[in-house]
Structure 1
């Protein structure tokens, strides 16, 4: 399957936003027509704090948005669309995802993960829609022979500081009504025929949150508390949604000694352990539909910054 790849500079809302996000995209193309094809899933990766001029080629390669998009495709398969999002605002190196987590402080650390208003899911839908509009200038949006398809699954991945977006999404998933109809489904109209439609991305916060089937925490960590969500009520409500009929949710927590063995920031490991405990305690209550996996990488090495980025290359998503 052929692909379209590029790095776009996109406003969250073209009419109101002054902040621009850099988003690397690697999208499936139809082999017959070269137009965008229906992906098996959308994999959305939120990057961490900015890295520049480290002198370490490994770190700088794995910060590169387009390279990370290629890695994500290699992990999940050539039929996925990969999106790699960099924060729009930085305080020196510190990424600030304030459109997704409104409670963050000046360094991007969260004060809370309140789901009110669904800021993360609403922002993601808006950002991906803006990306598709921009990409449509370079490639036809869909195959003229495409038919209506179900909305693809979504995999969300948060690396380092990008984990705050994952925590916010977990909070928003927990209050979504299980019976919420997926109105405003992700449909893009084919320009050559008004009768042919194709679903590429979710087009509402409800359909987006309902489409999430995998959540990956990737060596997340902060200089203050809040790296992992540890609210029992959030995990319990997610479990209850699953038991009432929502689709299964797989949560994988990946880490390295860089974060999990940092004695000066021991809250990171404590929060990770608490989240794993809460998730495992709810597995049975969810009817087995809540799945949790914990994976440690580079356990035989001393902690360093390079391994923090190398985990992206070594990621096991099986």
Structure 2
């Protein structure tokens, strides 16, 4: 309990210049309902679709077992040449949730919808999948407990197999099947109340409808290559996946999934714990030689110069050094060197990586 309290207060201090937390919370629970709420966000009509693609929101998509996550999809399954899967950081949430938060509205530029669009511009031939955390503690702290064991505020404890890859396989498979089922539904229906509310907020048009679907029992993922991106707290999912690479020697579905992963991107990773922000265990890292993936590390002074968490920079240096000593293809990029440490440059890595 003492460890939890210490971690909790450390996280609140870290977030002091980012957002003040409000009362209330949400436990990491999964819904038993199969009712799916779906919405699409339309981009500006003054630019082409490649620059402002529509995002499709899929709520409570079933993954492995009874685990569920909300997804944002941005792309075209018929023409996309790869999948790009993104796990975001603290504060990042759906636009309306950030706008209604007393502090996080300041960072609405980095809401999940805007991030999905940004990623689509970065990877225009990709199918962009933004995975929303299972919970947002105090509507601010991301908790990815469906992918890695965490405490209540999202601090991870890594293990040899938490089922992270299995859950990701199922999420993408069921997400794709759900989109195909929705392809014949007219999504241009909107209640006048929703339409008027969106106009008042100055937001892009948001079209909502609700549909019910049975659980997909035997859906199979396609064979497109996959890029995995973890920003800030979202890097804990990538780190758990590293711990599961050894399963390629034991489980054929996991082997097939990892064989499709072409790249990992760690974008200014961080969490509230006092170790394992970056994985330094050589027995874990050496398993990456079993797959053919590029490794991209992007950091900023926000994490590397954090005087309250000096271990982050030390671990990142060991992470990169040990990957290179193993003969792995790792590319390290340091952004905004010489600039003052701020939350803004932390978020700006999303544009500059």
TM-score range normalised by the length of the shorter chain: 0.7 to 0.9
- Seen in structure 2, the aligned counterparts of structure 1 residues 175 and 26 have a Cα distance that, compared at 3 Å, is same
Answer whether contact 1:175 1:237 (CA < 8 A) is retained. Answer: no
The reply to whether residue 115 of structure 1 matches residue 153 of structure 2 is no
Q: Which residue of 2 aligns with 1:223?
A: 272
Q: Which residue of 1 aligns with 2:319?
A: 275
Q: Which residue of 2 aligns with 1:145?
A: none
Answer whether contact 2:227 2:264 (CA < 8 A) is retained. Answer: yes
Answer whether contact 1:23 1:84 (CA < 8 A) is retained. Answer: yes
**What is the CA distance between 1:14 and its match in structure 2?**
9.3
The reply to whether residue 126 of structure 1 matches residue 170 of structure 2 is yes
Q: Which residue of 2 aligns with 1:43?
A: 84
- Seen in structure 2, the aligned counterparts of structure 1 residues 56 and 313 have a Cα distance that, compared at 3 Å, is farther
2:249 aligned counterpart, secondary structure: coil
Answer whether contact 1:23 1:65 (CA < 8 A) is retained. Answer: no
**What is the CA distance between 1:39 and its match in structure 2?**
2.5
**What is the CA distance between 1:151 and its match in structure 2?**
1.1
Answer whether contact 1:12 1:21 (CA < 8 A) is retained. Answer: yes
**What is the CA distance between 1:231 and its match in structure 2?**
1.0
- 1:88 pairs, out of 134, 138, 149, with 134
Q: Which residue of 2 aligns with 1:308?
A: 346
2:62, 2:243 → 1: CA distance? 21
The reply to whether residue 234 of structure 1 matches residue 266 of structure 2 is no
1:9 aligned counterpart, secondary structure: strand
Q: Which residue of 2 aligns with 1:185?
A: none
2:103, 2:63 → 1: CA distance? 36
**What is the CA distance between 1:271 and its match in structure 2?**
1.0
- Seen in structure 2, the aligned counterparts of structure 1 residues 39 and 68 have a Cα distance that, compared at 3 Å, is same
- 1:155 pairs, out of 218, 227, 239, with 227
Q: Unpaired segments of 5 or more residues in structure 1?
A: 29-35, 141-148, 182-203, 284-289
- Mapping 1:280-299, distance limit 5 Å: 280-283=324-327, 290-299=328-337
Deviates more, 1:36-45 or 1:165-174: 36-45
TM-score normalised by structure 1 residue count: 0.74
Q: Which residue of 1 aligns with 2:112?
A: 65
Q: Which residue of 1 aligns with 2:71?
A: 23
**What is the CA distance between 1:5 and its match in structure 2?**
2.6
Aligned residues: 259
**What is the CA distance between 1:110 and its match in structure 2?**
1.4
- Seen in structure 2, the aligned counterparts of structure 1 residues 56 and 9 have a Cα distance that, compared at 3 Å, is closer
**What is the CA distance between 1:158 and its match in structure 2?**
0.3
2:239, 2:266 → 1: CA distance? 9
1:176 aligned counterpart, secondary structure: helix
2:330 aligned counterpart, secondary structure: strand
- 2:144 pairs, out of 97, 107, 111, with 97
**What is the CA distance between 1:228 and its match in structure 2?**
1.2
2:173, 2:136 → 1: CA distance? 23
